[in-house]
Amino acid sequence: MPHYRPPVIALLGTGGTIAATAPSTTAVADYTVTEGVQALLSAVPEINALAELRPQQVFNVDSRCIDNAMLLQLGTAVDSLLADDAIDGIVITHGTDTLEETAYFLNLVIKSHKPVVVVGAMRPGSAMSADGPLNLYNAVLLATSPHAQGLGVLVTLNDAVHAARYVRKAHTTHVQAFSSEDAGCIGRIHNGRVMLSRGPAPCHTRDTEFSMQGLQGQHQLPWVDVLYDHQNAGLHLYRAAIEAGARGIVVAACGNGSLSTQAEEGCRLAVAQGIVCVRSSRTGAGLVSASQQDAARRLVSSNTLNPQKARILLMLALTRSTDPAAIQACFDRY
């Protein structure tokens, strides 16, 4: 008789509210990261019935503190675990503030069909009605699901399953804080059942030109700044980015990527220095359509990527080319 082997899931802790506590059960702000990944696991013993868990602490911080070096560190850890035949999937606990950036980065660089699920919580573990335990349980359940294979990096919070490509944090405090906007979430988890209604579109993981291997020897990712556009914007921010040696600038532009006069001039100065400038939108949803003038101005439009995710793709794209046309092709594809 074949011997049943439970799925083996690596559980990588990086910090965030899911690993935080506050002095009182009613506090849902002003908390600090105090718990390691082993403590998160011990708090939800039901998870052990789903899989054999291999906990690993990669770092333990609020996600606002994550920098490019930590992103590369996490990518390397994920990459080597996925290459291990003994590991069937990965769950990463993460702060929600920049979760979409990490998830999208991994979605572009990992080379495996094994499930990778990023999970967080909006309330600290010490709070009444903390959402972390069920979110974590659901994340492990999702990572053990055969239906989650080959979908790229997935994100789950509050019973919804999102594709890393589309998800964003869309509310500051609600438990229902994540949205995939026009694309919609790709499934739900309810009562111990994973229901995926469709796969994520554009290409991801094994189909991209990026990889952790390709980034080896790359101690730093190319520096990219995000500049917020608005009425009466300042040209000095563009000059500062140029002087600081930025290789790319993403403009969180108005509406459908329209640039203020100052942003237009700032991009012109930057492009003249070989800096790649991307027009994204500060609206939070929708696409920035490629403008007929983009090619003439050597500007790139961000498609449906918001500014913070456009920064991730631009950093990776800049490791391969500085040609705005080639980089536009990346934005059209990924």
Give the one residue of 35, 79, 88, 97 binding ligand ASP; rule: CB under 6 A.
97
Nearer to ligand ASP, 96 or 126 (CB): 96
Stretch in the footprint of ligand ASP (CB under 6 A) among 76-84, 95-103, 107-115, 198-206: 95-103
Tokens of 96: 């929600």
Nearer to ligand ASP, 95 or 115 (CB): 95
Active-site residue numbers? 17
In 10 A of CB 251, how many CB atoms? 33
Per CB under 6 A, 225 contacts ligand ASP: no
> In this complex, which beta carbon is closest to ligand ASP, that of residue 16 or of residue 187?
16
Q: What are phi and psi of 316, to 5 degrees?
A: -65, -45
Query: Rule CB under 6 A: is residue 136 a binding residue for ligand ASP?
Result: no
Q: Which segments within the chain are labelled E, that is strand?
A: 8-15, 20-21, 32-33, 52-61, 89-93, 116-119, 153-157, 160-163, 168-169, 178-179, 187-190, 193-196, 224-228, 248-253, 276-281, 299-301
Least distance CB 27 / ligand ASP (angstroms)? 13
Specify whether the backbone of 46 is left (phi greater than 0), alpha (psi in -120 to 50) or beta.
alpha
Q: How far apart are CA 270 and CA 243, in angstroms?
A: 10
Match 């335990």 to its residue by tokens: 133
Q: Which stretch binds ligand ASP (CB under 6 A): 90-98, 144-152, 289-297, 322-330?
A: 90-98
Q: What angle do CA 156, 112, 206 make, to 5 degrees?
A: 105
Tokens of 295: 């090619």
Among 62, 79, 264, 294, binds ligand ASP (CB under 6 A): 62
State yes or no: residue 21 binds ligand ASP (CB under 6 A): no
Helix (H, G, I), strand (E, B) or coil at 38: helix
Compare residues 170 and 269 and give the one whose CB is closer to ligand ASP. Answer: 170
- For ligand ASP, which residue has the nearest CB? 95
Residue 156 binds to ligand ASP (criterion: CB under 6 A):
no
Could you say whether residue 63 binds ligand ASP (CB under 6 A)?
A: yes
Q: Does 122 bind ligand ASP (CB under 6 A)?
A: yes
Least Cβ distance, residue 124 to ligand ASP (angstroms): 9
Residues at the contact surface with ligand ASP, assessed by CB under 6 A: 16-17, 62-64, 95-97, 120, 122
